[in-house]
Amino acid sequence: MDTRKLLCFNPMGTDDELLDVLRSRGWEVFSAIRLDEAKNLIDAHGFHVGIVLFGSREQADLSPVQSLLAMRYPMEWIALLPPQALQNREVCQLIAQGFYDYHTHPIDIERLQFTLGHAYGMALVMKRLRTQAASLGNDGIIGCSPSFTKVFADIEKAAGLDVPVLVTGESGSGKEMAARVIHRRSARSDKPFVVVSCGALSSNLMQSELFGFEKGAFPGAYRSKEGSIEAAAGGTLFLDEVGELPADLHQPLLRFMREKTIRRVGGDRDIPVDVRVIAATHLDLGKAVAEGTFNAELYEALSPFRVHVPALRERREDIELLAKYYLDLFVNEKYRHISGFTPEAVQAMERYDWPGNIRELINRVRRAMVMCEDRWIAPQDLGLASAEQAASKIPSHVMTLEEAKAEAEKEIIQLTLRATENNISRAARQLAVSRMTLYRLMDKHRIRGSSSASGHA
């Protein structure tokens, strides 16, 4: 019989008889009475599953158990308690929010054995997911849904090819994250990864941004300057929202991709540059080509290999995993009291359509951490309705997808501006857009920044 490790945390004193039975069933049982003992054992043995023994309703002191759960160890917990303890509302809430399952006395050992085995297996699955997420870096490329399996495979394949890649997907779905991972896992990983937001500048400024300029090329050009393509030499040029690239730059970009040379604005010589291009767009470029708004040859040059990042609503199985990942990522001493999400919050997140995708999820988690005054993040902290609220507040006007996206985009920008005290540079960095794009979006949604807002970091 395989031996599996099990931690028993019992602030009231160890139940030796139960632990002996579990040992006879193939478990290597470690017990702890004090919180520091439990922590040291977990650090030393890396348990996947544990049990917590509760006292009666009158005896229940939940603070050690709450502290243990707040440490968010990657393991599953089973509660064992007398039936009268379930009369304590705080005990019930703690079990519902922090435990995999619970059993009441007298303990049915066969049922407990089954629960422990299942919890142990689920903990191993979660461990594999965390390992997979870590293998793809800390850029939020995380998922376990069937629709995301292909993304992992495509990213791995693209990383091994030295050809242009077109990454498609809705705004906020993680296209730049995917591009960064492709670069980091490629043979060019030790060279620059340079980002250009194709819709952020006018045509003339974008030409200078991409290709650079020579001294005297135009008024104010007091010195020569290399463009983003030269800055990415040997590495990767990421063209974000390439579908918004000004039409008169389609041919110059196509020429560069074919000949691997650029000519600076005002220059008279061709400069060879070895750069891999990864482009991203939320637009249907095939449709744009058919409508004559995007160059067909450039489209083909950009897309010998394609990676499609699905919208968050198309992989709902990943929502809880992503929310917990970002909560753990952002947690610090200021928010150490937050233990996780209530079941209602998880349900609200899984029902919501996420028009802003992962970018919106990140901002809602950040918002929730600021708003949450309890241990557990609730739907209202996320700005999402609970099931009861959703049922009672069905709008008379059903929003179109574009209207929902616009509303979510406006809310995220407003939240981010408030969180950064109207600092445009910081807000733009958090939203992963350029300052020019943020100004354009603020104008689009008629969002007014504070008169004292600073554009400096």
Would you state the pLDDT for residue 185? 92
Homologous superfamily (CATH) of 4-133 is Response regulator (3.40.50.2300)
Listed in order, the ranges of the chain carrying CATH 3.40.50.300 are 146-308
Local structure of 31: helix, strand or coil: strand
Q: Does domain 315-444 have CATH number 3.40.605.10?
A: no
Q: Tell me the mean pLDDT in the region 438-450.
A: 80
pLDDT digits (tens, 9 = 90+) for 243-254: 999 999 999 999
Any idea which of 24-28, 167-171, 285-289, 332-336 has the lowest mean pLDDT? Answer: 332-336
Would you state the pLDDT for residue 391? 41
Residue 86: band (very low, low, confident or very high) from pLDDT cuts 50, 70, 90? confident
**Percent of the chain clearing pLDDT 70 (strictly above):** 86
Res. 310: pLDDT tops 90: yes
Q: Taking the model in full, what pTM does it have?
A: 0.63
CA distance 185 to 189: 6
Would you state the pLDDT for residue 300? 97
Res. 10: pLDDT tops 80: yes
DSSP assignment, residue 421? T
Q: Tell me the mean pLDDT in the region 304-325.
A: 91
Would you state the pLDDT for residue 329? 79
Q: Tell me the mean pLDDT in the region 293-318.
A: 95
Cβ contact 193:183 at 8 Å? yes
Alpha carbon of residue 233 to chain centroid? 29
pLDDT digits (tens, 9 = 90+) for 359-387: 899 999 988 988 888 888 999 999 997 54
Q: Tell me the mean pLDDT in the region 334-359.
A: 86
Would you state the pLDDT for residue 142? 80
CA distance 267 to 4: 70
**Pairwise pLDDT comparison (139 vs 17), residue with the higher score:** 17
Listed in order, the ranges of the chain carrying CATH 3.40.50.2300 are 4-133
CA distance 418 to 370: 12
CA distance 456 to 441: 18
The amino acid that residue 195 corresponds to is V
Q: Tell me the mean pLDDT in the region 264-281.
A: 94
The pLDDT mean for the chain works out to 84
**Pairwise pLDDT comparison (428 vs 291), residue with the higher score:** 291
Residue 441: Cβ within 10 Å count: 17
Would you state the pLDDT for residue 13? 66
Q: Tell me the mean pLDDT in the region 77-93.
A: 87
Q: Tell me the mean pLDDT in the region 401-409.
A: 68
DSSP assignment, residue 56? -
229 φ/ψ angles, rounded to the nearest 5 degrees: -65, -45
pLDDT digits (tens, 9 = 90+) for 168-218: 999 999 999 999 999 999 999 999 999 999 988 888 899 999 999 988 878
Q: Tell me the mean pLDDT in the region 434-457.
A: 68
Closest CA to 8 of 59, 77, 63, 64: 77
> Do the strands 27-32 and 49-53 form a parallel or antiparallel pair, or are they unpaired?
unpaired
CATH number of 146-308: 3.40.50.300
**Pairwise pLDDT comparison (399 vs 316), residue with the higher score:** 316
DSSP result, 138-177: SSS----SHHHHHHHHHHHHHHT--S-EEEE--TTSSHHH
pLDDT digits (tens, 9 = 90+) for 114-171: 999 998 988 887 776 655 554 444 455 787 777 787 888 899 999 999 999 999 999 9
Q: Tell me the mean pLDDT in the region 102-120.
A: 92
Residue 415: Cβ within 10 Å count: 19
